[in-house]
Chains A and B, each alone.
Chain A
Amino acid sequence: MSESRKLTRRQVLQGTAAAGALGMLGNLEWIGQAWGAADKVKMGFIFVGPRDDYGYNQAHFEGKAAVAKLDWVKAFDEEKVPETIEVQKTMESMVKLDGAQVLFPTSFGYFDPHIIKVAPQFPNIQFLHCGGLYQEGKHPKNVGSYFGFIDESQYIAGIVAGGMSKSGKLGFVAAKPIPQVLRNINNYTLGARSIRPNCTTNVIFTGDWSLPVREAEATNSLVDQGIDVITCHVDSPKVVITTAEKRGIYCTGYHCNQSKLAPKGYLTGAEWNWAKVYMDYAEMIRKGQTAPHLVRGGLKEGIVKVSDYNQVVTDAVRKQADAAKDKFMGGGMVVYKGPIKDNTGRVVIAAGKEHVQTDIWLESMDWLVEGVIGSTKS
């Protein structure tokens, strides 16, 4: 008895002393001073998932890492922040405790209601959100959006996939049937069919952004159905890519470069190039400029890119892919040019009509193009 009593008393004493010491530290005015760098541009990044997910979050983290290398920037980040009140607290905390001048809450779900609620409290801080949701007059003035037309890269990847496929059957593991995802599926298919008109894309929707087990099941199921090139639009393509490599088929990546995960089968991939976007923003803030409310662009603007081709990609296919890329770079490429039918046979874009990349009509896409096997209702 006496032994355990003594131990407890000692612990209690230690605990009290520690708590007292910590209490004193708590009273110190430390905000902003801890970093000792008042003249640096302070940028805060918030990610919804892990920094090293080989996907959406890693793409942003790589962008953050690029600006963090500049000696006049202090960049800090926080990962796995849920899209609820916690992200509001993280934003406030970055402003109040770290002295952030600009915040990049990168997940789509951070915008409404979280950024809209926090931004008006800090009118001197810029809140730049990835997703293109900003609307003039409706949203706070210190809010902006940036987004890339990654479907352009998917079009190129589709050409490579269609050219390298033996069966002419491609696979696509997708999270949800929302416009952004459908646009990628359609571009991938249109790219493949531009060089191989009878190509098809089998789509499986998993239902959510991060369901590794279901993504692996979907990949296996697609391979069993005879597809021999696969890609995806989920938060982390890791499982799809590694499963494809294990099953001995080709794959094309998404979000960031996954060639390390599949050295044999990774043909190419659609990647973000956030480093450029974040560098540009950092430069603007350094000069004291207000960032524009809307930054968008595709291959031409350097906001998205295409992974280097795998050595197995044949010269003929490279040439076709590069030709399309050059057209995008020159600004003369229109993917959604009629006649285009959806996969139920309905004409969605009449002959002679075209929808350029920035056309708002494309942002409410709810159909799958001819050649896609699957349904938005699934």
Chain B
Amino acid sequence: MSVAVPQILNKALEPFLIIVGSLTVSMVLFGIFVASAGADPFEVYQTMYRAAFGTSFSWQNTLVRAAPLMLTALCTALPGYLGLIIIGGEGAVVMGGLFAAIVALTMPTAPPIVVLTTMALAGMVAGGVWLMIGGALRHYRAVNETISSLLLNYIAIALLNHLVTSTFRDPESLNHPSTHHIGEANMIGVIPGTDLHWGLVFGIVACVIAWFLMHHTVFGFASRIAGGNVRAAQVAGLPVGRLILTICCVAGAAGGLAGMLEVAAIHGRANDTLNANYGYAGILVAFVARNNPLAIIPVAVLLGGIRASSGLLQRAHELPDATVLVMQGIIFLVILFSETLYGRFAKLQKQGAS
């Protein structure tokens, strides 16, 4: 049968089957866990399905949670092409949201479209510069990029808390220090006919662009070479340093855009709620999607669905919120273990083909 399958399909089939298989195994393991916690696993899955995908409200609930994850997943996925493990998405979100709000406040009379465009640019620049710091430390000072990007998260949160309690504080935000409101006119609306804000569209478009960038341009090709073997890339004359900085900047820009959307679509101001752990959830998404920007979209929807189902699980089955974290953890580990299956499967297929 595999003789008839074209090479390219075979290539796509392998990760697909392994990921679907891993998810199935995860569901069985989680079912056992739920059963040991005293709930009926079939009822739990039924509830989760209902809460995440069962009604149009559930779908919107899922998608609204998935939208920021698509963007923050890119923070980890793109540097992954270069072999870098960046976990600074949270910092990029916070910086993006903070600076988007600040620039919006400097232009009170501009028309909304100008304000929003400037906000998006400011958010992307802020997030981009933030992750670029991690990339620069890696390239110029050989500082481990995982550690530095993680620590940059804390610095970003501290900076946010400092600025919203001092220079940019709305004096009326007594017990919840925040910046001034950017103005109702400047808020991003919802996609017509739904209750979803435009963040979802931004997320999907960003993932598609990122995929095109990494798989269909010279830049993406060069990055993948450098990710495969830095020495070989240097010998071939590729500007590895510039690639690292650019990729980190693009990745950070995606996170910054997520932060800008939090401000422009939900809060209207920057405050400590920007730090809602989307950056960390994005790491999981990128990981499960194996850094492929196109795969990020369905994985983010899946994770959004799991998060969305937490509420009903708590209310209908009186399970703690940690239940869905256990599920996420199981999925994460099983996917990690399933990495060892790659190649073996392909070898089997090649034998079949010959």
Residue of B nearest to A51 (CB): B320
What's the nearest-Cβ distance from chain A to residue B40, in Å?
14
If A108-B176, A178-B177, A179-B174 touch, does A96 touch B266 (CB 8 Å cutoff)? no
| Secondary structure of the A contact surface, majority rule | helix
A79 to B321, CA, bound (A): 6
Considering the complex, which residues of chain B in the window 262-295 have a beta carbon less than 8 Å from any beta carbon of chain A?
262, 265-268, 271-273, 276-277
Q: State in angstroms the CA–CA spacing of A4 and B20 once bound together.
A: 13
**Is the pair A25, B273 in contact by a Cβ cutoff of 8 Å?**
no
Contact size class for A?
35 or more
Contact with A along B286-323 (1 / 0, CB 8 A): 00000000000000000000011011101110001100
- How many Å lie between the Cα of A73 and that of B129 in the bound state? 53
With CB as the reference atom, state the residue of chain B lying closest to A29: B55
Q: Which residues of B contact A79 (CB under 8 A)?
A: 314, 320-321
Residues of chain B contacted by A94 (CB below 8 angstroms): 311, 315
Q: Could you tell me if B165 and A176 are in contact, using CB atoms closer than 8 angstroms?
A: yes
A97 touching B321 in the complex, CB below 8 Å, given contacts A8-B17, A179-B174: no
> Does B57 reach chain A (CB closer than 8 Å)?
yes
| CB of A26 within 8 Å of the partner chain | yes
Among A84-92, A194-202, A329-337, the stretch in contact with B: A84-92
**Contact string, B158-197, partner A, CB cutoff 8 A, digits 1/0?**
1001000100000000111100000000000000000001
Contacts A78-B321, A84-B262, A108-B175 known; A92 to B54 CB distance under 8 Å?
Answer: no
What separation, in Å, do the CA atoms of A180 and B177 have in the docked complex? 12
Contact A93 B65 (CB under 8 A): no
Q: What per-residue 1/0 map shows which CB atoms of A26-44 lie under 8 Å from chain B? A: 1000100010000000001
Residues of A with C-beta under 8 A to B61: 89, 92-93
Instruction: Find out whether the CB atom of B177 lies under 8 angstroms from the CB atom of A25.
Output: no
Asked if B53 is at the interface of the complex by the 8 Å CB criterion, the answer is yes
Give Cα distance in the complex from A4 to B349, angstroms.
Answer: 11
Q: How far is the CA of A131 from the CA of B173 in the complex (A)?
A: 13
Q: Of all chain B residues, which has the CB nearest A49?
A: B321
Contact check: which of B308, B321, B349 meets A89 at CB < 8 Å?
A: B308
Contact (A22, B174) CB under 8 Å given A77-B315, A78-B311, A113-B268: no
Tell me, yes or no, whether B237 is within 8 Å of chain A by CB.
no
Give the residue name and chain of the A residue nearest to B64 (CB).
Answer: A85
Select from chain A the residue with minimum beta-carbon distance to B49: A22
Interface check A225, CB cutoff 8 A: no
Q: A1 contacts B176, CB within 8 Å?
A: no
Q: Check: A208 CB closer than 8 A to any chain B CB.
A: yes
Given contacts A85-B64, A176-B165, A178-B176, 12 further A-B contacts (CB under 8 A): A1-B348, A1-B349, A51-B320, A78-B315, A85-B265, A89-B65, A93-B57, A113-B266, A113-B267, A113-B268, A176-B177, A207-B161
> Would you list 19 pairs from A and B whose C-beta atoms are within 8 A, ordered by A residue?
A1-B351, A8-B17, A11-B21, A18-B45, A22-B45, A25-B49, A25-B50, A26-B50, A50-B320, A78-B310, A79-B314, A89-B65, A92-B61, A93-B61, A96-B57, A97-B312, A109-B176, A109-B271, A176-B177
Closest 4 CB pairs of A and B: A26-B54, A76-B315, A80-B321, A83-B273
Q: Which residues of B contact A (CB under 8 A)?
A: 17, 20-21, 24, 45-46, 49-51, 53-55, 57, 60-61, 64-65, 158, 161, 165, 174-177, 197, 262, 265-268, 271-273, 276-277, 307-308, 310-312, 314-316, 320-321, 345, 348-349, 351-352
Chain A residues within CB distance 8 Å of chain B: 1, 4, 8, 11-12, 14-15, 18, 22, 25-26, 30, 34, 44, 50-51, 76-86, 89-90, 92-94, 96-98, 108-109, 112-113, 131, 176-180, 207-208, 363-364
